[in-house]
Amino acid sequence: MKPQRVIVTIDGPAGVGKSTVAKLLAKALEVMYLDTGATYRSLAYAAVEANVNIADRERLVAMAKRLPLQLRQTAEGELRVLLDGKDVTKKIRTEEVSEAAAHVAQEPKIREALVALQRRLADEHGVVVEGRDTGSVVFPYAPHKFFLDAQPDIRAKRRQDELALLYGRKTPLLQVQEQLHFRDSLDRTRRVGPLVKPEGAIVIDTSHLSASDVVRVMLKHIRAAGGQPAS
Ligand code: DC
């Protein structure tokens, strides 16, 4: 009998450690890692670069339908984001792109096109996928679903560290908190694909856990559900 394809979804707000955990888990399970946020960020980046107004819905939907996006995984498990063949991995992480992505993600027709792209990008052998609606919309029938959360001050501190790595300087914590709060409210209140705990998802509070602790907890659940032989 053909073994069941491993699909693990990890959802949650920004700053809960989804990406780090998803990469480690994908490595442990030897499957592909898919960052759905990178699709929204890449579209936002392409729009900013082409001087397209973020409010120009029709243009953005057309761009989303033929976004020349490729995801490559390095041997270390890192993700390289290629747009039109060019490496934009770092460029899509700036605050400007984060804000534009949060707006782009509000439009139902854009989400429809990007969800279709995410399903195409998912490997047929198995995938660990992370985002906001991966367990509720992208892969609602995934056998393993997780929802990560953490205390707001800890999330802000993690995002501050991420930005420091990117820019080489510290962004004031209050500013980071405000940006997170703004994006959270957009994520939670949009009509289509809002950030919700998917039905059947296991909730993990990562406030006081390291990434490898979280992966250990996840692997335990996956193995208990018969998703992966114990090693
Ligand atoms: O996870 P991230 O910060 O890279 O996400 C970038 C933006 O895309 C963020 O505003 C939320 C949005 N997003 C979404 O709406 N649905 C997803 N599945 C993933 C991200």
Domain with residue 187: its CATH number is 3.40.50.300
Q: Is 82 helix (H, G, I), strand (E, B) or coil?
A: strand
Q: Give the residues surrounding ligand 1 with Cβ less than 6 Å away.
A: 14, 36-37, 40-41, 101-102, 105, 131-134, 183, 187, 193
Is residue 203 in some structural domain?
A: yes
Q: How much of the chain, in percent, has pLDDT values that exceed 70?
A: 96
Is residue 228 in some structural domain?
A: no
Which numbered atom of ligand 1 lies nearest the CA of 133? 18
Which of 69, 112, 119, 132 is the best mutation target for the ligand 1 pocket, counting ligand atoms within 8 Å of the beta carbon and taking the most? 132
Q: How many domains does the chain have?
A: 1
Is residue 226 in some structural domain?
A: no
Is residue 15 in some structural domain?
A: yes
Strand partners, 145: 9
Is residue 162 in some structural domain?
A: yes
Which numbered atom of ligand 1 lies nearest the CA of 38? 4
| pTM as predicted | 0.93
Indicate the pLDDT class of residue 228, thresholds 50, 70 and 90.
low
* Ligand 1 centre distance from Cα of residue 2 (Å): 33
Q: Whose CA is nearest to atom 11 of ligand 1?
A: 102
Residue-averaged pLDDT of the chain:
92
Is residue 227 in some structural domain?
A: no
Complete edge-to-edge strand list for the sheet that includes strand 202-205 = 32-35, 126-131, 6-11, 144-149, 202-205
Question: Residue 155 carries which side chain, given as an amino acid letter?
Answer: R
Helix axes 37-49 and 57-65, enclosed angle (nearest 10): 120
Is residue 225 in some structural domain?
A: no
Is residue 231 in some structural domain?
A: no
As a dihedral over the C-alpha atoms of residue 52, residue 179, residue 163, residue 112, rounded to 10 degrees, the angle is -50
Domain housing 205 = 7-220
- What are the start-end ranges of the H helices in 89-172? 95-104, 108-121, 152-167
Region 168-179 average pLDDT: 93
Q: Whose CA is nearest to atom 8 of ligand 1?
A: 37
How far is it, in rounded angstroms, from Cα 181 to Cα 186?
A: 9
Indicate the pLDDT class of residue 231, thresholds 50, 70 and 90.
very low
> Which of 69, 91, 88 has the alpha carbon at shortest distance from 167?
91
